[in-house]
Amino acid sequence: MAGFSLTLLRHRLAAARDLARRPRPAMAPPGRPEGRLIWAHFGTGVSSAGVRFVLERLRRTHPDLRFVTTGQGGHPDLTAAPPPDATAAARAFLDHWSPNLAIFSGGDTFPAVWSEALSRGIPLFAADVDPARQASALVQEMSRFDAVLSRAPDPRIGPTLEVVGPLSKTPVPPSTNATEMEAMSERLATRPVWFAADAGPEETALVLAAHRRASRMAHRLVLVLSTSDPKIDTRLDADGWQWCWCENANQIQADTQVVASRPGRRTGLWLRLSPITYLGGSILGQGAGMSPQVPASLGSAVIHGPRLGAQAADLEPLRDVSATWTVRDADALGEAVEKFLNPAEAAKRAARGWQATSAGAEASAYLVELLDDTLAGIPA
């Protein structure tokens, strides 16, 4: 073959092998944001949800906080690869991120990283861990942590370890304004209320039909309809409903039958005021936009359709204690609302839901308190 050189081919193959063996430069991590930063590592063997929800609660109290997360879970702020457990890598990681404190969960261990962080005076916490399953050399630095919230005792760790069990995996409910809630509560004090959360345009007619049926039993019943339907005002007018937007309590009159809202607007308010919540999107939509555990944790009886979508897993602990009610059409939804207008029936379901969603709440509250106290001593 003209132009073929076996020597040149061998040289090129050797060069290719040499190039493949060379360490490739790692992608530069994103820059560290300004302000106070928490590093959270989500380790193996546990759900990252517990720590993520603790971080969300901290963010509400400390809006300046930023987070970088490593491991098996993500967070809306920043994610990074965890550092290899070697002194040089630990120094590079901590030099770059300079966290104000760090939280570790799950079964991953970082003796070298922990040692370097402790030498820098970085407060360290562990939660949802079981150090008794690890060799002493892997967990001995935990005795110098600020706190270790463990699932089981381990005498090697010493007084920093407390057995508190797993953290709560119930999502943090949307917040609300206390003054607005008081005003709305006074306005609706004598009227029964139910909340259809995040219903899409395809469900507007269904929810209104259910409301019409339930209103025959309770004439002063108010539906709070949170919907993305762009024609909701036209639909409500055409059907002859007395309605208003939910801008403030004064807009709700004695004859108001429907209070319209957009998804995300005053959701925390309505979840706290409505003893009955329907998860919109779960009958005709693509799935519920809200975890059923959120209204259940606030004492609301939960009604849903068969299409939970991404929220299906969150239904399991509620289904196990019969805390929710499944419906498949407008008639069944209206019938369920009628059923829960009975205070005793609604209270029974709500109590089951609260019990199912309160597991781990004490451990989570304790961790939030520990972290909050530590942050109080770190200048913003």
- List of residues 6+ apart from 287 with CB closer than 8 A: 281, 307, 308, 309, 310, 311, 312
* pLDDT in the model for residue 12: 46
Query: Residue 368, Cα to own-chain centre: how many angstroms?
Result: 15
Q: Is the pLDDT of residue 9 over 60?
A: no
In 138-295, DSSP assigns E strands to 147-150, 161-163, 193-199, 222-227, 243-245, 258-261, 276-279
Instruction: Give the 3-state secondary structure of residue 86.
Output: coil
Contacts of 304 (CB under 8 A, 6+ apart): 278, 279, 282, 288, 292, 315, 324, 325, 326, 327
Q: Which pTM value belongs to this model?
A: 0.81
Is the pLDDT at 278 greater than 90, yes or no? Answer: yes
Between vectors from CA 205 to CA 199 and to CA 210, what angle results, nearest 5°?
Answer: 85
Closest CA to 118 of 139, 97, 146: 146
Kindly tell me if the per-residue pLDDT of 140 is higher than 80: yes
Asked if residue 81 lies in contact with residue 72, where contact means CB atoms within 8 angstroms, the answer is no
Indicate the angle between helix axes 343-357 and 312-320, nearest 10 degrees.
Answer: 110
Q: Is the per-residue pLDDT at 3 higher than 70?
A: no
Rounded to an integer, the average pLDDT of 90-104 is 97
pLDDT band at 154 (very low <50, low <70, confident <90, very high): very high
* pLDDT at 112 exceeding the cut of 70: yes
Residue 359 has a pLDDT of: 85
Percent of the chain past pLDDT 70, that is, above it, reads: 91
**Two tokens, residue 304:** 């849903």
Angle, helix 330-340 to helix 343-357, in steps of 10 degrees: 90
Structure tokens at 378: 């770190």
Whether 120 shows a pLDDT value over 60: the answer reads yes
Helix axes 330-340, 204-215, angle to 10 degrees: 40
Alpha-carbon distance 222 to 274, whole Å?
Answer: 10
What is the pLDDT at residue 129?
Answer: 95
To the nearest 10 degrees (0 to 180), the angle between helices 49-61 and 361-376 is 40
Whether 4 has a pLDDT exceeding 50, the answer reads: no
Q: How many CB atoms lie within 10 A of CB 361?
A: 14
Largest CA distance in the chain: 97
Residue 80 and residue 86: Cα distance in Å, rounded? Answer: 17
Cα separation of 108 and 42, whole Å? 8
**pLDDT score at 10:** 52
pLDDT digits (tens, 9 = 90+) for 15-65: 445 444 444 444 567 789 999 999 999 999 888 889 999 999 999 899 999
pLDDT band for position 76 (50/70/90)? Answer: low
Q: 356-379 pLDDT, tens per residue? A: 999 889 999 999 999 999 999 988
Using the predicted structure, report yes or no on whether residue 6 has a pLDDT greater than 60: no
Lowest mean pLDDT among 88-92, 165-169, 276-280, 372-376: 165-169
pLDDT confidence of residue 72: 86
Helix, strand, or coil (residue 236): helix
Contacts of 178 (CB under 8 A, 6+ apart): none
Residues 188, 221 contacting (CB under 8 angstroms): no
Give me the pLDDT at residue 379, please: 83
**Any bridge partners for residue 195, and if so which?**
224, 277
What's the mean pLDDT in 320-346? 95
- pLDDT value of position 13: 52
Half-sphere exposure of 224 (CA within 13 A, CB side): 33
